[in-house]
Amino acid sequence: MKEIWLIIKEQFQHLGMIFRMSRYEDKATYQSHYLGLAWQILNPAIQVGIYYLVFGVGMNGNRKIDGVSFFVWMIMGITAWFYINTSILGASNSIHRQVGMVAKMKFPVSVLPTINIVSNLSSYFPMLAIVVGALLLSGVTPTIYWLQYIYYFVCMFVFLFAFGILNSTITVLIRDYHIFLQSVLRLLFYVSGTIWDINNRNLPIWLVKILKLNPIYYINDGIRDSFLSRAWFWEKANYTLIFWGIILILLILGSHLHMKFRARFVDYI
């Protein structure tokens, strides 16, 4: 537990650096593009259009789910998925990609995954605004349940932080891990409730229960619970406890490996 507190302490001690470097990453990524930061919205919007045509119109017949159109239901999950997917991959490669910075100066290496996660918020929040607009246009009325979104946003951020610390360390030690992670995320896209309602896919009950243990499903389903006023998080007490148990395991493993090997990161790379 001491290692977890050391990692978390470094994040708070370097908050200013995290926000400054996240803004720099945004500008550096798109500085050579004519449309610049607009691609942070255009790229996911194009993908949303493709998924809607294939899975919404083509395979689902644009039927309603939970009282809203498939499009509105889908973008609630897919907006979170874009942020989660980009942040997991970016954070996992953050230390390896910044080896020059790590080698040349005394640098709090543990903040590198966090910088990437914070940087991706610049594209997530505009997409979230589009989600809220789509909900209002479809006749969904804001309720007190909407405040619960804050809880699930914290869940999402903490999950990405814990997973990012672990993944970034393993990627330095085993370079093939990053490629393996990409393949796993492609699978998780289809089994995390992002574009499929797994409760209505005629799947065996035991398989549905296993799929619901996935932290990404917990976040996706929770965001829909909030915006569609379906349930409070404490009504899913078992899954909530399992989610935070997984987070704790990720933090323990990630913090231990990070503190054990970070003095030799440059040698491994």
pLDDT at 150: 96
What letter represents residue 174's amino acid? I
Q: Is residue 99's pLDDT more than 70?
A: no
Q: Between 22 and 103, where is the model more confident? A: 22
Distance CA 152, CA 223 (A): 6
pLDDT at 59: 54
Query: What is the distance of C-alpha 162 from the center of its chain?
Result: 11
pLDDT at 208: 83
Mean pLDDT (the chain) is 82
- Mean pLDDT is highest, among 159-163, 209-213, 256-260, for 159-163
Q: Is residue 268's pLDDT more than 80?
A: no
C-alpha dist (Å) from residue 61 to 64, 65, 85, 97, 199: 9, 11, 27, 43, 18
Residue 68 phi/psi, 5-degree rounding, is -125, 165
In the structure, what pLDDT confidence band is assigned to residue 32 with cuts at 50, 70 and 90? Answer: low
Q: Mean pLDDT across the stretch 189-194?
A: 84
pLDDT in tens, 105-132: 677 888 889 999 998 888 888 888 888 8
For the ranges 40-44, 139-143, 162-166, 237-241, the lowest mean pLDDT is seen at 40-44
Say which residue the tokens 């030690």 belong to: 173
CB neighbours of residue 26 within 10 Å: 19
C-alpha dist (Å) from residue 198 to 17, 65, 125, 175, 203: 41, 12, 26, 33, 7
pTM of the model: 0.87
Q: Between 139 and 250, where is the model more confident? A: 250
Q: Which domain holds residue 159?
A: 2-268
SS3 category, 68? strand
If one counts the domains in the chain, the total is 1
